[in-house]
């Protein structure tokens, strides 16, 4: 029966591996996409890891636009979101 046991444990291992790969396949792109949008990357990643397509649908429903530049409230120039000071007029956000 050692062959049968070996086959079934290999099969279980393969299934576990595929499930893990699919989970990561949902979690990683959603996490990266969330971080680009100023959303909770870890939270969305974990949610997608466990819920797969349901997490993806939920993520798409809550999708925020990609945040890269914000207009300076003082001079109106577009400045990268991570800048603390406006490089054009020195206004502090
Ligand atoms: Zn400015």
Residues 31, 10 within the same domain: yes
Residue 83 has pLDDT above 90, yes or no: no
pTM above the 0.75 mark?
no
Least confident of 10-19, 62-71, 81-90: 62-71
Structure tokens at 86: 């406006």
Q: Domain containing 32: what range?
A: 2-52
- The terminus-to-terminus CA distance of the chain in angstroms comes to 70
Q: What is the spatial distance between Cα 28 and Cα 44, in angstroms, rounded to a whole number?
A: 9
Does residue 58 lie within any of the structural domains? Answer: no
Residues 69, 32 within the same domain: no
Structure confidence at residue 80 as a pLDDT band (50, 70, 90): confident
Residues 42, 69 within the same domain: no
Residues 25, 45 within the same domain: yes
Q: Do residues 48 and 26 make contact, with C-beta atoms less than 8 angstroms apart? A: yes
4 CA from centroid of ligand 1 (Å) = 71
The number of folded domains in the chain is 2
At residue 48, the pLDDT reads 97
Residues 68, 29 within the same domain: no
Write the pLDDT tens digit of every residue in 13-40: 999 999 999 999 999 999 999 998 888 9
82 CA from centroid of ligand 1 (Å) = 14
78 CA from centroid of ligand 1 (Å) = 8
Residues 71, 47 within the same domain: no
At residue 5, the pLDDT reads 62
85 CA from centroid of ligand 1 (Å) = 8
Q: Where are the beta strands (DSSP E) in 1-93?
A: 69-71, 78-80
93 CA from centroid of ligand 1 (Å) = 9
Does residue 91 lie within any of the structural domains? Answer: yes
Residues 14, 39 within the same domain: yes
Q: Do residues 36 and 48 make contact, with C-beta atoms less than 8 angstroms apart? A: no
SS3 category, 83: coil
């Amino acid at each position: 029966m050692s062959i049968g046991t070996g086959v079934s444990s290999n099969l279980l291992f393969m299934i576990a591996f595929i499930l893990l790969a699919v989970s990561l396949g949902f979690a990683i792109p959603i996490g990266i996409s969330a971080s680009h949008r100023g959303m909770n990357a870890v939270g969305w990643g974990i949610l997608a890891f466990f819920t797969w397509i349901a997490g993806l649908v939920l993520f798409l429903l809550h999708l925020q636009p990609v945040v890269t530049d914000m207009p300076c409230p003082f001079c109106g120039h577009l400045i990268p979101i991570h800048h603390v000071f406006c490089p054009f007029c020195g206004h502090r956000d």
